[in-house]
A and B are shown apart, each in its own frame.
Chain A
Amino acid sequence: GEEVAQTPKHLVRGEGQKAKLYCAPIKGHSYVFWYQQVLKNEFKFLISFQNENVFDETGMPKERFSAKCLPNSPCSLEIQATKLEDSAVYFCASSQFRGRGQPQHFGDGTRLSIL
Protein backbone atom coordinates (compact mmCIF):
# COMPACT_ATOMS: atom_id res chain seq x y z
CA GLY A 1 0.00 0.00 0.00
CA GLU A 2 0.91 3.67 -0.17
CA GLU A 3 0.69 4.21 3.56
CA VAL A 4 2.09 2.56 6.65
CA ALA A 5 -0.85 0.72 8.17
CA GLN A 6 -0.90 0.12 11.90
CA THR A 7 -3.51 -1.94 13.73
CA PRO A 8 -5.25 -1.67 16.03
CA LYS A 9 -5.62 2.09 16.53
CA HIS A 10 -6.24 1.63 20.24
CA LEU A 11 -5.54 -1.38 22.45
CA VAL A 12 -6.54 -1.72 26.09
CA ARG A 13 -4.97 -4.36 28.30
CA GLY A 14 -4.96 -5.13 31.99
CA GLU A 15 -1.63 -5.07 33.73
CA GLY A 16 0.13 -8.40 33.22
CA GLN A 17 -1.64 -9.23 29.96
CA LYS A 18 -0.01 -9.57 26.57
CA ALA A 19 -0.28 -6.91 23.87
CA LYS A 20 0.45 -7.37 20.18
CA LEU A 21 0.65 -4.54 17.67
CA TYR A 22 0.87 -4.81 13.89
CA CYS A 23 2.45 -2.76 11.13
CA ALA A 24 2.31 -3.13 7.36
CA PRO A 25 5.05 -0.97 5.78
CA ILE A 26 4.66 0.82 2.49
CA LYS A 27 5.00 -1.62 -0.38
CA GLY A 28 8.59 -1.66 -1.61
CA HIS A 29 10.04 -0.32 1.63
CA SER A 30 12.71 -2.56 3.06
CA TYR A 31 13.26 -0.86 6.41
CA VAL A 32 10.89 -0.81 9.33
CA PHE A 33 11.34 1.15 12.56
CA TRP A 34 9.36 1.02 15.82
CA TYR A 35 9.19 4.01 18.15
CA GLN A 36 7.45 4.51 21.48
CA GLN A 37 5.95 7.93 22.25
CA VAL A 38 5.19 8.34 25.93
CA LEU A 39 2.76 10.83 27.43
CA LYS A 40 5.31 13.64 27.65
CA ASN A 41 5.68 13.40 23.86
CA GLU A 42 9.13 11.90 24.06
CA PHE A 43 10.02 9.44 21.35
CA LYS A 44 12.11 6.41 22.09
CA PHE A 45 13.56 4.22 19.35
CA LEU A 46 12.89 0.56 19.95
CA ILE A 47 14.01 -1.58 17.02
CA SER A 48 14.61 -1.55 13.28
CA PHE A 49 14.44 -4.22 10.59
CA GLN A 50 15.88 -4.70 7.14
CA ASN A 51 13.27 -6.92 5.56
CA GLU A 52 12.89 -9.80 8.04
CA ASN A 53 16.27 -9.26 9.72
CA VAL A 54 16.74 -7.28 12.90
CA PHE A 55 18.99 -4.34 12.06
CA ASP A 56 19.22 -2.57 15.39
CA GLU A 57 17.54 -3.60 18.63
CA THR A 58 19.44 -1.38 21.04
CA GLY A 59 16.27 0.34 22.22
CA MET A 60 14.29 -2.78 23.05
CA PRO A 61 13.63 -3.65 26.69
CA LYS A 62 14.98 -7.16 26.58
CA GLU A 63 12.77 -8.99 29.02
CA ARG A 64 9.25 -8.35 27.80
CA PHE A 65 9.41 -6.84 24.31
CA SER A 66 9.86 -8.75 21.10
CA ALA A 67 9.32 -7.93 17.44
CA LYS A 68 9.24 -9.71 14.11
CA CYS A 69 8.97 -8.92 10.42
CA LEU A 70 8.18 -12.13 8.54
CA PRO A 71 7.84 -12.43 4.76
CA ASN A 72 4.35 -11.77 3.44
CA SER A 73 3.04 -10.80 6.88
CA PRO A 74 2.67 -7.53 8.77
CA CYS A 75 5.46 -6.75 11.19
CA SER A 76 4.54 -7.18 14.84
CA LEU A 77 5.59 -5.81 18.21
CA GLU A 78 4.64 -7.92 21.21
CA ILE A 79 4.78 -7.00 24.87
CA GLN A 80 4.50 -9.77 27.43
CA ALA A 81 3.32 -9.15 30.99
CA THR A 82 2.47 -5.51 30.34
CA LYS A 83 3.15 -2.84 32.95
CA LEU A 84 1.49 0.51 33.53
CA GLU A 85 4.61 2.23 32.18
CA ASP A 86 4.09 0.55 28.79
CA SER A 87 1.12 2.87 28.20
CA ALA A 88 2.17 4.91 25.17
CA VAL A 89 1.59 5.41 21.47
CA TYR A 90 3.66 3.00 19.41
CA PHE A 91 4.62 4.22 15.95
CA CYS A 92 5.86 2.16 13.08
CA ALA A 93 7.76 3.86 10.25
CA SER A 94 9.18 2.56 7.01
CA SER A 95 11.74 3.76 4.49
CA GLN A 96 12.74 2.55 1.08
CA PHE A 97 16.49 2.65 1.50
CA ARG A 98 18.92 2.75 4.35
CA GLY A 99 20.62 5.98 5.19
CA ARG A 100 21.12 8.81 2.69
CA GLY A 101 18.67 10.74 4.79
CA GLN A 102 15.78 8.68 3.55
CA PRO A 103 12.67 10.08 5.21
CA GLN A 104 10.81 7.67 7.39
CA HIS A 105 7.10 7.47 6.68
CA PHE A 106 5.04 6.97 9.81
CA GLY A 107 1.82 5.11 10.46
CA ASP A 108 -0.91 6.63 12.59
CA GLY A 109 0.27 4.78 15.68
CA THR A 110 -1.34 2.37 18.10
CA ARG A 111 -2.35 3.81 21.46
CA LEU A 112 -1.71 1.17 24.12
CA SER A 113 -3.50 1.73 27.42
CA ILE A 114 -2.56 -0.49 30.34
CA LEU A 115 -5.11 -0.45 33.16
Chain B
Amino acid sequence: AQTVTQSQPEMSVQEAETVTLSCTYDTSENNYYLFWYKQPPSRQMILVIRQEAYKQQNATENRFSVNFQKAAKSFSLKISDSQLGDTAMYFCAFMISGAGSYQLTFGKGTKLSVIP
Protein backbone atom coordinates (compact mmCIF):
# COMPACT_ATOMS: atom_id res chain seq x y z
CA ALA B 1 0.00 0.00 0.00
CA GLN B 2 1.09 3.54 -0.70
CA THR B 3 1.30 6.24 1.95
CA VAL B 4 1.76 9.97 1.57
CA THR B 5 3.03 12.11 4.44
CA GLN B 6 2.81 15.87 4.74
CA SER B 7 4.66 16.74 7.91
CA GLN B 8 3.65 20.42 8.10
CA PRO B 9 0.01 20.80 9.19
CA GLU B 10 0.20 24.59 8.90
CA MET B 11 2.54 27.14 7.37
CA SER B 12 2.51 30.85 6.77
CA VAL B 13 4.41 33.10 4.39
CA GLN B 14 4.60 36.81 3.75
CA GLU B 15 3.14 38.04 0.51
CA ALA B 16 5.75 38.04 -2.30
CA GLU B 17 8.00 35.63 -0.42
CA THR B 18 8.80 32.01 -1.29
CA VAL B 19 7.55 29.00 0.63
CA THR B 20 8.21 25.27 0.32
CA LEU B 21 5.70 22.60 1.33
CA SER B 22 7.10 19.15 1.98
CA CYS B 23 5.73 15.76 0.99
CA THR B 24 7.21 12.29 1.31
CA TYR B 25 5.73 9.03 0.15
CA ASP B 26 6.29 5.36 0.52
CA THR B 27 5.84 2.85 -2.28
CA SER B 28 7.42 -0.24 -3.73
CA GLU B 29 6.29 0.76 -7.22
CA ASN B 30 8.72 2.15 -9.76
CA ASN B 31 6.29 3.87 -12.09
CA TYR B 32 3.91 6.42 -10.65
CA TYR B 33 2.74 9.99 -10.79
CA LEU B 34 2.68 12.69 -8.14
CA PHE B 35 0.37 15.66 -7.87
CA TRP B 36 -0.21 18.75 -5.80
CA TYR B 37 -3.79 19.89 -5.42
CA LYS B 38 -4.94 23.17 -3.89
CA GLN B 39 -8.16 23.44 -1.89
CA PRO B 40 -9.14 27.03 -1.09
CA PRO B 41 -11.89 27.79 1.44
CA SER B 42 -14.39 27.45 -1.41
CA ARG B 43 -13.67 23.70 -1.17
CA GLN B 44 -12.78 23.24 -4.86
CA MET B 45 -9.93 20.85 -5.58
CA ILE B 46 -7.62 22.49 -8.11
CA LEU B 47 -4.71 20.71 -9.75
CA VAL B 48 -1.54 22.73 -9.23
CA ILE B 49 1.18 20.57 -10.73
CA ARG B 50 1.93 17.04 -11.88
CA GLN B 51 5.18 15.03 -11.96
CA GLU B 52 5.95 11.80 -13.78
CA ALA B 53 8.25 9.59 -11.71
CA TYR B 54 10.28 8.47 -14.72
CA LYS B 55 11.20 12.04 -15.57
CA GLN B 56 14.24 13.50 -13.87
CA GLN B 57 13.28 17.05 -14.71
CA ASN B 58 11.28 18.84 -12.07
CA ALA B 59 7.85 20.10 -13.17
CA THR B 60 7.12 23.82 -13.15
CA GLU B 61 3.91 25.77 -13.65
CA ASN B 62 4.42 29.52 -13.51
CA ARG B 63 5.13 30.37 -9.84
CA PHE B 64 4.84 26.73 -8.76
CA SER B 65 7.67 24.24 -9.01
CA VAL B 66 8.54 20.92 -7.44
CA ASN B 67 11.70 19.36 -6.10
CA PHE B 68 11.32 15.68 -6.91
CA GLN B 69 13.86 13.38 -5.31
CA LYS B 70 12.94 9.85 -6.35
CA ALA B 71 15.55 8.04 -4.29
CA ALA B 72 14.50 9.92 -1.18
CA LYS B 73 10.80 9.58 -2.10
CA SER B 74 10.34 13.29 -1.63
CA PHE B 75 8.15 15.67 -3.62
CA SER B 76 8.14 19.22 -2.27
CA LEU B 77 6.22 22.16 -3.71
CA LYS B 78 7.80 25.59 -3.98
CA ILE B 79 5.59 28.63 -4.37
CA SER B 80 7.44 31.75 -5.47
CA ASP B 81 6.17 35.32 -5.15
CA SER B 82 3.34 34.18 -2.87
CA GLN B 83 -0.02 35.87 -3.43
CA LEU B 84 -3.01 36.23 -1.14
CA GLY B 85 -4.94 33.92 -3.46
CA ASP B 86 -2.50 31.13 -2.64
CA THR B 87 -4.05 30.84 0.82
CA ALA B 88 -5.48 27.31 0.84
CA MET B 89 -5.00 23.72 1.92
CA TYR B 90 -2.43 21.95 -0.24
CA PHE B 91 -2.61 18.21 -0.75
CA CYS B 92 0.12 16.00 -2.11
CA ALA B 93 -1.21 12.94 -3.97
CA PHE B 94 0.15 9.75 -5.50
CA MET B 95 -1.10 7.58 -8.37
CA ILE B 96 0.31 4.24 -9.49
CA SER B 97 1.01 3.80 -13.17
CA GLY B 98 0.39 0.58 -15.06
CA ALA B 99 -2.21 -1.88 -13.80
CA GLY B 100 -4.25 -0.55 -10.97
CA SER B 101 -7.32 1.40 -10.08
CA TYR B 102 -5.70 4.81 -10.65
CA GLN B 103 -7.13 6.12 -7.43
CA LEU B 104 -5.33 9.01 -5.82
CA THR B 105 -3.78 8.52 -2.40
CA PHE B 106 -3.63 11.85 -0.58
CA GLY B 107 -1.59 13.23 2.28
CA LYS B 108 -3.37 14.96 5.14
CA GLY B 109 -2.70 18.41 3.76
CA THR B 110 -0.82 21.56 4.70
CA LYS B 111 -2.77 24.71 5.47
CA LEU B 112 -0.95 27.66 3.92
CA SER B 113 -1.72 31.22 4.96
CA VAL B 114 -0.31 34.10 2.94
CA ILE B 115 0.04 37.18 5.13
CA PRO B 116 -0.30 40.65 3.59
Which A residues contact B (CB, under 8 angstroms)? 31, 33, 35, 40-43, 45, 48, 55-56, 58-59, 89, 91, 93, 95, 98-106, 108-109, 111
Find the B residue at minimum CB distance from A98: B102
Interface residues contributed by chain B, number (CB under 8 Å): 25
- Determine the distance from Cα of A42 to Cα of B45 in the docked complex, in whole angstroms: 13
Q: Is B103 an interface residue when CB atoms closer than 8 A count as contact?
A: yes
Find the A residue at minimum CB distance from B93: A43
Whether the Cβ atoms of A103 and B47 lie closer than 8 Å is yes
Q: Is B108 an interface residue when CB atoms closer than 8 A count as contact?
A: yes
A-B pairs with lowest CB-CB distance, top 9: A56-B101, A101-B33, A106-B45, A43-B106, A45-B103, A41-B109, A103-B47, A99-B102, A109-B43
Whether the Cβ atoms of A89 and B104 lie closer than 8 Å is no
Whether the Cβ atoms of A31 and B50 lie closer than 8 Å is no
Q: Is B77 an interface residue when CB atoms closer than 8 A count as contact?
A: no
Q: Is B97 an interface residue when CB atoms closer than 8 A count as contact?
A: yes
Whether the Cβ atoms of A43 and B97 lie closer than 8 Å is no
Whether the Cβ atoms of A31 and B44 lie closer than 8 Å is no
Question: A102 touches which one: B44, B91, B102, B105 (CB < 8 A)?
Answer: B102
Please give, as numbers and ranges, the residues of chain A lying within 8 Å of B106 by CB-CB distance: 42-43
Minimum Cβ distance to chain A for residue B25 (Å): 14
- Determine the distance from Cα of A33 to Cα of B97 in the docked complex, in whole angstroms: 16
Question: A103 touches which one: B35, B98, B103, B108 (CB < 8 A)?
Answer: B35
